[in-house]
Structure formats: C-alpha cells, structure tokens
Amino acid sequence: MKRADTPHMRSDKTGIIALSSEFSVMGINRQACRMLEIAPAPGTDCPLEKIVDTKSLAAAGRLFADAIEKKAPVKDAVICLVNASGRPFHCHVSALPLMSKHQSAIGVILSFKAIDVQNRAETSPPSLTYLPRLGYQGVVDSLPEGVFSIDREWRVNGFNKTAETLTGHARDDIIGKYCWQVFQSGSCQHNCPLADIFKNGRSWENQETTIRTHTGSVRKIRFNAGPLKTADGRVVGAVESFRLLPMKKENKRPSLDAFTFQGMIGKNAAMTSLFAMLRDVAASQADVLITGESGTGKELVARAIHTLSHPDAKTFVAVNCSALPETLLESELFGHEKGAFTGADQMKQGRFELAGNGTLFLDEIGELKPALQVKLLRVLEQKEFERVGGSSPITLFARVIAATNQDLDKAMACGRFREDLYYRLRTIPLRVPPLRERIEDIPLLVDHFINTFNLKYDKNVRLVDPKVMDFFKTYHWPGNIRELERCMEHAFVFVRGPIIFPRYLPEMEDFTGQKPPGPGKKINPDQENLLWALEKADGNRAQAAKLLTISRTSLWRKMKGAGLI
C-alpha cells in the first residue's frame, strides 16, 4: 500500500493512522500496522472501537472530536489501544486535524507510541536530583499520609512508608513503574490530576478518587497533588499525598427530614413554634399577614398554609405588589372588561378570580397605593369585587394571605398605610425571623444547599471548611436565606473538591453593598458594623445593641471608640 507508507507517515517507533471524519482509513504507516496487527486498504472503515479498548473509547472519542472541532492538535493523552488479537496496550496518543484546501477539518491523523512497561527495569529510574537529599526520605517517611512522586515520563520515583502501608505495595517493587499501572485509579483515564498538573502547572486540593491496592481491592482516597519544579520554575514531575477514606462514608450528615416542614428547614425555637402554628392556621379561613425581612422565606410560609389547607392541590396565585405601577396592578388584581381602557381588546380575568377556591398571596403589601388599599379592604370585607370597567359583582372564594418586609406600624404613623386594612389583614400575624436570629439553623441550611447544588452542578461537595462555617455564624446576613443561597451557589461554581474553603466565597459586598470581615474571623462591632446596626435600627441604640448581640453599655463604648458620639 503506497499510501500507507508515504514519507510523511514514516516512523520507526510511532504508529500513525489517518482517519476521515467518517472513520474510513486515509493512510497508515508500517509501525501502526505492526502494532494493531491490521493492514487496511485506503477507504476501509475503521471505527474507533476496532482499535481502542472499551475502557478508553470515551477518551479517544473526545480526542478525535476535539481535534476536528478546534482544528488544532491535541497531544499526549494516555489511551489503551487494542490489536486484532484482542491484546490491549497503553499508548501516548496525539491527534492532528487533517485540513482540506478550504481549511475545513476532513479527518484526523492519530499518532501513538506504546508505553513500554515490560522494559521498565532495563533503564534506571530517574532520580529526584532537583530535591534536597539530606534527610529527605526520613522526613517523607514520617508523614501520616501516603506520598509518591513521578517524573515527566509518568514513572514513580518516590514512595514513602505510609504509601506502602496504605496500598500494600513495596517501595522497591514500585519505583520505576508507571503510576497508572500501580494505582489503576478511577481518574487515570478521565480527568487525571497529574496530567492536568503537567499541562497547566496548577495544584489540586482535597480531591477524591479510587485506587486499587496490592490485594486488588478498590479503596476511596482523598488526595492533594502539585507540580515539582526546579529553581527556574520548570515542571519536572509531580507529587501527590493521599489518605484512605473509611469504607463507609465519613461525616455522614444527619437527615434533614427531622428539621423540615413543608419545604422549610429549621430547629430554631422561633421556627419550630411557627411550624406548630401553621396547621392550626391552615385549618381556619382567617386572613393572614406574614412579616419578615426580605429573603427570609415568607412565600414558603404562605405556600405551606396553602398546601395544608388544600391537600387536593388547588390553585396558589402569587402577586408582587411592588412589581407593577398602580394602574396595571389594579387590572392585574381585579381583571378588566373588554374596552375598559385603551389596549383592553378583550376581557381578562384578574388574580382574585384566577385563584378560584385556592389561595391568593399578596407579597409586598406595604407597597400598595392608598386608592388600591381602599379597594382591597372592600374586597376583604364584602368578599366580592368587580372587574375594571365592569359593574357585575364577582364573589371572592380564595383565601388571601399578605406579606411585607416593611414596618407597617411606622407606615401607618406616616399615613402611608391604612390602619383599618392593617387590622383586617392581620387577623393572624406570623413573623418569620431573620437568619441572624437562627444561628443554629445555618448548618442545616448549608447542608440543604449542598444537596441542592450537588444535583444542579453534578458535584460531590460534602461540607464547608470550619472557617467558612464560623464566618457564616457570625455574619449578619442582611439578605437572609436568599443571600446564603446565592453565596453557596457562587462557591459551587468554583469549588473543585469535596470541601468549600474561604477562597471560594464571593465578596459579600456584591450582594449587600458592604464587605464583611475575612472568612474565619469573628465579626467585631467595628465602625462598619456599628453603622449597619444603627441604620437598621433607625438610630435606636437598644435595637442596635440587640442586632450586634452586645449590651447597650458596650454599644455606647464602641460608638465612642469609633468616633460616632
């Protein structure tokens, strides 16, 4: 086959085969024919599964696809090929896109060089000449974690006593072998950290994978890995430390079920008291006013009442009273008749009507303008309403639950909220406490978000670093649970291992407009926090002291020290 041995494809040690994008042979050299034990003519179909071991098919497919899609070489993947006799052998494989004269990728040239395992003992293993030798082995052997190192050829050239104990392999038997041959890790063919270190020079921290011990059993490990560099910064190898994880999952988190009620999580006394009230509230038809800061979960409380009231899953309709201007909000709530105003081309049912026999949730009720407050009061009192532009009364069957994050007492004093509507709404007042008053619930909420975002981002995060938890318990959380959720999701975007460390947290000012102390530090009532507390308390020192969990005397002393009085 002349085409199988063109000058461009000659190599004494490297097999080369050119495949079209449809996996037909475009060319092959003699070494590839010898290694694969095949002699295909040009145009012969050669699917990857014919020359690649089943375990490496996914990696080989990505290599092939990346070369075509990126129109750039993809180098040095360790892939297990298989010859016509069915014998597998590992190779360093590179892929070079084959370009047409129009610069479109029409195929891939695969080059592969066998990793000669059998002859590894014929050459002396590379030594760590770039590492200090005086006392080196004694220090490494005393470490409680297993440690091994490899050179740029993937051969093991360091193996401490703890590694011997954990794996059952003797150091003298391991030195000079390829790391993937020794450990047979679940990461060897996919997402190999050592390959990433050689490619990008970055370290890996607190990762989990599996290895196979000398007896053949598979064990789960947690490891750290990083590059070995010369004085001039050249990467000459990699080092990895590891420890075995228990056969059963360690630090297994208790089930959240015991602390979950209708989708809400908490063991705080105020929350458990709220949970206990909700069944009685749901059994009545009284109007409910839910108060609480933004992000505390007021809508969850409303939905819990609805679900408990209507086990047959009747309609739950939510309206944010601050989201629309007054004229549009009136039409949204009451509906309108055809021709009621310009643009009203057809009759539209309002939210009161759409809620049917279910629940109408009016969020941010404190934002209602006075004219709409009067109309809402009339609906609640008479249990009927009219569409905008209509004259026929429509009966209200839905239960109304309102919520606000405002101080309605203050709004009434200022004349912004009607007193009669306030007392009509708050037949049953419910208060949802802010997160800073629920410190004992923070670990539960963190576990909940870990479970949620593990599913969303397909990760295996298990816990947050203790410094992160300490920070969470001392931060004042002006955005409450919503802010904690966004903080955890931010961390999930960047975390690479099973633990969320402080560096993965966002700058909290991105969410709240003010920057907290660094992770792991207790929040001190410094000038920044004093100003925050005084602002939240509208200058009331007793309330500010309560927010900061200090005495009024301590607050006065801190304010004086900060130059605020």
- Given a contact cutoff of 8 angstroms between Cβ atoms, the answer to whether 324 and 509 are in contact is no
* 10, pLDDT greater than 60: no
Rounded-to-integer distance, Cα 560 and Cα 562, Å: 5
Q: Which two tokens stand for residue 452?
A: 């949620």
Closest CA to 290 of 278, 279, 307, 272: 278
pLDDT confidence band for 462 (50 / 70 / 90): confident
- Which of 17-21, 127-131, 415-419, 561-565 holds the top average pLDDT? 415-419
Angle at which helix 370-382 crosses helix 326-334, to 10 degrees, equals 10
Q: How many C-beta atoms lie closer than 10 Å to residue 98's C-beta?
A: 18
Region of 292 on the Ramachandran plot (φ > 0 left; ψ -120 to 50 alpha; else beta):
left
pLDDT digits (tens, 9 = 90+) for 271-297: 999 999 998 999 888 889 999 999 999
Strands (E), 15-142: 15-20, 25-28, 74-82, 88-99, 105-114
Closest CA to 242 of 210, 202, 196, 217: 210
Indicate if the pLDDT at residue 3 is higher than 70: no
State yes or no: pLDDT of 532 exceeds 90: no
Say which CATH class 440-561 falls into.
mainly alpha
CB contact at 8 A, 303 and 432:
no
DSSP string, 415-476: TSS-HHHHHHHTTEEEEPPPGGG-GGGHHHHHHHHHHHHHHHHT----EE-HHHHHHHHHS-
For 520, phi then psi, to 5°, come to 95, -15
Higher pLDDT, 534 or 118: 534
- CA 382/CA 398 separation, integer angstroms: 13
Low-confidence winner among 132-146, 323-337, 340-354, 381-395 (lowest mean pLDDT) = 132-146
**Pairwise pLDDT comparison (291 vs 23), residue with the higher score:** 291
pLDDT higher at 12 or 209: 209
Segment 176-217, tens digit of pLDDT: 888 888 888 877 766 788 888 888 888 888 888 888 887 777
Q: Which residue has the higher pLDDT, 513 or 344?
A: 344
Does 520 have pLDDT greater than 80? no
Q: How far apart (Å, rounded) are the C-alpha atoms in residues 324 and 351?
A: 14
- Is the separation of the CB atoms in 505 and 491 below 8 Å? yes
Which of 59-68, 442-451, 501-510 has the weakest average pLDDT? 501-510
Mean predicted confidence (pLDDT) in 245-274: 76
- 38 versus 11: which is more confidently predicted? 38
Per the CB < 8 A criterion, the answer to whether 223 and 179 are in contact is no
Domain borders along the chain are 2-114, 137-244, 257-431, 440-561
Q: Which CATH number fits domain 137-244: 3.40.50.150, 3.30.460.80, 3.30.450.20, 1.20.1250.20?
A: 3.30.450.20
Q: Domain 257-431 belongs to what topology?
A: Rossmann fold (3.40.50)
Q: Which of 517, 520, 487 is nearest to 504 (CA)?
A: 487
Q: What pLDDT, on a 0 to 100 scale, did the predictor assign at position 270?
A: 94
Is the pLDDT reported for residue 514 higher than 60? Answer: no
Domain 2-114, CATH: 3.30.450.20
CA 237 to chain centre: 31
Q: How many CB atoms lie within 10 A of CB 196?
A: 16
Residue whose token pair is 């089930």: 255
- How many other CB atoms sit within 10 Å of the CB of residue 234? 11
Using CA atoms, how far residue 494 sits from 103, 248, 433, 501, in Å, is 37, 27, 31, 10
- Rounded Cα distance between 106 and 19, Å, is 9
Question: Degrees (nearest 5) of the Cα angle 291, 294, 295?
Answer: 110
CA–CA separation, 441 and 453 (whole Å): 18
Domains 2-114 and 440-561 alike in fold: no
How far CA 499 is from CA of 93, 177, 447, in Å, comes to 34, 32, 12
- Residue 321's nearest CA partner among 295, 279, 351 is 351
